[in-house]
Structure 1
Amino acid sequence: MATTASPPAPSRTSFAALRHPGFRAQVGFFLLAMMADNVEHVISYWMAFQKFQSPALGGFAVVSHWLPFLLFSVPVGALADRFDPRRIIQCGMGLFMLASAGWAYFLITDTLQLWHAMALLVVHGCAGVLWQGATQMLLYDVVPAPDLPSAVRLLATARSLGVLVGPAVGGALMATAGPRWGLLLNVLFFLPNVLWLWKAPYGPRFRAAAAAPARAVRGLADIARTLGEIRADRRLVSMIALAGLASLLVGNSYQAQMPGFASDLGHGEAGATYSMLLAADAAGALLAGLLLETRGGLLRPAAGTALGLAMLWCCALAGFGATGSYPLALVLLFAAGVFELAFSSMAQALVQLHAPTAARGRVIGVFNMAALGLRAFAGITVGLGGSAVGIHASLVASSLALLLALGVLLAWLRTSPPAGA
């Protein structure tokens, strides 16, 4: 069983991670890549819908995006324990570039077939799992341990900003260069991250401490081994369980049902009011990230605090599902974005702070598998449930079910809380 020394106390300095030039570069290129990721989504999804008019392809796009995280997060984490995370991120960027270039080629030549679209969606999903896990591992080399929570929050904030900006840039590219050439230009947005990582002074050969003994990558067998190594640390177990339950029961599946919610709220047509509904959640997350960084000591990372914030997220989403008022819906979605960024970034920070050194990549991989991979099934609760009882009732029921599960998890954590929980 792995044991770890207590990590240094998190820094209370505002925007602590930005004091480090390496992190400033990392978060900037991460934001650019996240924007490009969403640019590709906007253009490719639109063009695929126009060509195939296939709801099944839309469903496949969701599954192909999240299933790689479920299947490969732990193996990729194990690889990041053994190899230079910079090179793994570069491989992810290469796959992103291949996907955008592939879409551009098939659209420019007018040869796109359904199986081409499916293959490109799979390539894009695999790129994401390589990029996300290795980026989290690289943080250990870029910032010191006290600044890890700040770095995690700022990356999460950059992710939200990329989600907000990406569709706008994608729309601008479609309006100016056209969707085909816009996708080709999108390849260039991934390139700066590749070039920076080429010579960035991070990774195994730049570390002062001796590297942990290398272990063979055993694929899915690593999941059971990793859970066995951390089972005594309730802080780690509870944060992985929090991430998994939130993704499985709710995730971001309600966003795919937003046209239905908008229609029921009287704003089902494309326009500013519908766009505001779509952007409210991401805007709340962006504000939360900036507020938490501005007020450096506002929320100390603790497992109990993360669970409490997640329970508030459940309440905000249940209220959104139940309301028939458009202004109140905007407020509740905004609040949901605030609580989601706060609890998810805190959970990830706790995992990264307390993961055993020799198994960091695998522990982060298990967390990513729970937090991102299980989103592949969240559509069952809100989506299929919505077809049976209505999307409002299904979102309320899913949110309340998650609220109950998190209450049980919090009670379990409190029976023998670790220090700082």
Structure 2
Amino acid sequence: MPTRNLRPFPAAPMSSPATVPAAEPDSVFRDSVFRRYWFARLCTTIGYQIFTVAVGWQIYDLTRDPLMLGMVGLVQFLPSVALILMSGHVADRFDRRRIVRTCQSLEAMLAAGMAAASLGGWIDSHHIFVFVALIGATRAFENPTLQALLPSVVTPRQLPRAVALASSAGQAAIIIGPAIGGFAYVAGPGVVYTLSATLFAIAALLVGGITLRQAAQRLTAPVSVRTVFAGFAYIRSRPVLLGAISLDMVAVLLGGAAALLPIYARDILHTGPWGLGLLRSSPAIGALAMALWLARHPLNRRAGRVMFAAVAVFGVATVVFGVSTWLPLSMAALVVLGASDMISVVVRSTLVQLDTPDDMRGRVGAVNSVFIGASNQLGEFESGVTAALLGPVGAVILGGVGTLLVVAVWMRLFPALAARDKLHEHPA
């Protein structure tokens, strides 16, 4: 269905940043503009993953309480909910490059503050929660804006490959980041936070040098209840988008075993920080391999059913990880989990970008980020609470089984998503 007939407001006039000619689909990564975007995403995600590993291990060292690991996720989640309407509106009204660069600069300063507190020896769990909440607030603006920026870097025809390649940057970072964070933690959390701050700063410099492939369309309508809530209304009116976003959200919410990895590493698999780094990297190994495969071989048929199948495999892999007491098997289950999750991510992200007008991508992206990105943190909270009640193994198994039930229910609730054939149904 052509998106030009779906705009709830008049399109904003074309802005005037410098633009450059489009590359052919098969040569997306050979283009310097997309490479700059790709490396910026790589650096900011590595920085965040390093930060997350240090926070998880440090808070568990300080408290030895699984509920506190879940609280870290909740503290990150709340700012995203509180700022969802503001962040989407800002992303559609102002220069997206400047927003992303500002967020990454703030993240660099916050990570540097964590480094100073850790090296000074005065940090405690309360300080950690304050810093985590502030990082969550900056990422509430950065994530949807960075996603909304991508369609201005490539053409619509290139977008499915670009989404997969951009996802590969994130997954490569999730492989590299936890490994670096786990090994660097041997030297102390202050060193880990310093590395994180440096990478956030590099990402900000890279984003500052991006020129746009296509001129962005900005929201010019006055602020009103209608414009502020337009992202929700748009998703609700599109069953394919609503089904894809909600399916991924519920699966991530139920399968939030990542919060329990410090417990699995220390108490079930009997390993140390290096083992935690390997566990956190394992899902990204599978996800990176799948992202590179999808960049080379985009999904051309039965995209909806492939997404449902991938989420079902995600649930099975979660159960296998839950019952495993052997590190190699646990890592293998997490690799499969990551690969299946990447299929769902690419399908959902491509549908959101292609089925949304440019002057609404910030608001739709903000809703998407809260439903998906923040559900990671809420899933960690759910896993922490469930683990406190049922134990870590029971919590993970329950999440995997719940994911399988959700797949069955969602196929009946959203038949339009199950019937979706091609990702790209619009002209280039």
Report if TM-score (shorter chain) is over 0.5. Answer: yes
Unaligned runs of 5+ in 1: none
The one-character-per-residue Cα deviations of 1:252-273 (angstroms, maximum 9, x if unpaired) are: x2122235545786x3232776
The one-character-per-residue Cα deviations of 1:202-257 (angstroms, maximum 9, x if unpaired) are: 3xxx85476454342759x944x43333434221111121122123322xx21222
Give 1:173 shift. 4.8
- Partner residue, 1:216: 223
Matches of 1:210 and 1:333 in 2, distance apart? 40
Give 1:90 shift. 1.4
Letter in 2 for 1:37: Y
Match of 1:60 among 71, 77, 98: 71
SS of aligned partner of 1:32: helix
Contact residue 238 and residue 303 of structure 1 kept, 8 A: no
- Partner residue, 1:357: 358
Match runs of 1:9-408 below 5 Å? 16-46=27-57, 58-112=69-123, 115-171=126-182, 173=184, 179-180=189-190, 183-184=193-194, 186-202=196-212, 208=215, 211-216=218-223, 222-223=228-229, 225-250=230-255, 253-261=256-264, 267-270=269-272, 276-294=278-296, 296-297=297-298, 300=301, 302-323=303-324, 327-379=328-380, 381-408=382-409
SS of aligned partner of 1:257: helix
Give 1:100 shift. 1.5
Give 1:4 shift. 4.2
Contact residue 77 and residue 363 of structure 1 kept, 8 A: yes
Cα distance change of structure 1 residues 281 and 217 upon mapping to structure 2, 3 Å threshold: farther
Matches of 2:159 and 2:43 in 1, distance apart? 21
Matches of 2:57 and 2:33 in 1, distance apart? 36
Matches of 1:115 and 1:327 in 2, distance apart? 35
- Partner residue, 2:10: none
Cα distance change of structure 1 residues 351 and 415 upon mapping to structure 2, 3 Å threshold: closer
Aligned residues: 405
Matches of 1:385 and 1:187 in 2, distance apart? 33
Matches of 1:410 and 1:339 in 2, distance apart? 17
Contact residue 281 and residue 333 of structure 1 kept, 8 A: yes
SS of aligned partner of 1:145: coil
SS of aligned partner of 1:361: helix
The one-character-per-residue Cα deviations of 1:334-362 (angstroms, maximum 9, x if unpaired) are: 21111011111221111111113342211
The one-character-per-residue Cα deviations of 1:111-142 (angstroms, maximum 9, x if unpaired) are: 44554333212111112222211110110111
Contact residue 259 and residue 268 of structure 1 kept, 8 A: no
The one-character-per-residue Cα deviations of 1:137-187 (angstroms, maximum 9, x if unpaired) are: 1101111111222222222222222122123333565566x6435534543
Contact residue 182 and residue 276 of structure 2 kept, 8 A: no
After superposing the two structures, state which structure 1 stretch, 167-176 or 27-36, moved more.
167-176
Matches of 2:322 and 2:197 in 1, distance apart? 38
Matches of 2:333 and 2:108 in 1, distance apart? 37
Letter in 1 for 2:306: T
Give 1:43 shift. 3.9
CA RMSD of aligned residues (A): 3.4
